[in-house]
Amino acid sequence: MTLRSFVAATVAALAVPAVADSVDVPFTRITSNATENVESQFGLTIQEVIGDSSVVDFVFTNGVGIQSAISEIYIDNGRPTGQNLESGSIFEQVGTDFNWGSAAPPDLPGGETLGDPFDVTFSLLGDAQGNPNKGINRATDRLTIRFTYQTGTTFTDLAQSLNNGGLRVGMHVRSIGQDEESDSFVGGPPTMIPLPSAAGLALLGLGGLSARRRRSA
């Protein structure tokens, strides 16, 4: 490989876009009104926003193996209040019609019965308009809420808060199964999603280019 081609390969490899860190958060049912427990259907991926370290995205989905509609979402921002997130707003929604900043009911049903009661942080809650039809009730539905960090908070801090219960996410789900009952769910410890770093991707790119060069030599 000539110096010129090596430089070109390096530039191309380093142009690989950065990869965001993210975690998946599973949910646990905290009430038992419905016959079916649909906790395994729900998805919440929390991911960094590339290019803006002051915000983070919460992406909600519903696999809908059993009929259900995520209708209200609540954030318990930890104690002291507001130690993790400053504010939030809807960034994107597909197939849903949520309003952020208030909800009915204003508290997570059943949240007060937990050993550490679920304490909804002011303004960090939202609900679907026209429940349950406008909730997250199809596999193609998606709701992304973009939160602003408290000053000095990082994604690592957020993941640790999720892991130790300093930050909790609650959902009220309606029209579950044939009974069309409702239940509440709280997010549990997150699972890290391992992703290669941008530098690692760049090295992989260089390796591939080098291998192709050797084969063509």
How far apart are the C-alpha atoms of 126 and 73, rounded to whole Å?
5
Residue 144 lies inside a defined structural domain of this protein: yes
What pLDDT score does 78 carry? 81
Q: Please indicate, yes or no, if residue 3 is contained in any of the structural domains.
A: no
Give the pLDDT confidence of 3-15 residue by residue, as tens digits: 455 445 444 444 4
Domain-located, residue 7: no
Mean pLDDT over residues 92-101, rounded? 97
15 located within any domain? no
Task: Assess if residue 215 is contained within a domain.
Answer: no
Number of domains in the chain: 1
Evaluate if residue 18 carries a pLDDT over 90. no
Position 132 scores a pLDDT of 85
pLDDT at 126: 97
pLDDT in tens, 126-159: 999 988 889 999 999 999 999 999 999 999 999 9
Instruction: Answer yes or no: is pLDDT of 97 > 90.
Output: yes
Domain for residue 36, yes or no? yes
Residue 44 — very low, low, confident or very high, per pLDDT cuts 50/70/90?
very high
167: domain CATH number is 2.60.40
> Is 107 contained in some domain?
yes
Range of the domain at 195: 22-206
Q: What is the percent of the chain with per-residue pLDDT over 90, rounded to a whole number?
A: 70
Is 17 among the domain residues? no
- With beta carbons less than 8 A apart as the criterion, state whether 91 and 146 touch: yes
Lowest mean pLDDT among 13-22, 29-38, 94-103: 13-22
pLDDT (average), residues 178-207 = 70
Single pTM value for the model: 0.81
Does residue 45 carry a pLDDT above 60?
Answer: yes
pLDDT higher at 23 or 132: 23
Question: CB of 131 within 8 A of CB of 71?
Answer: yes
Measure the CA dihedral 108/114/115/120, to 10°: 0
Residue closest to 58 by CA, chosen among 138, 146, 123, 142 = 146
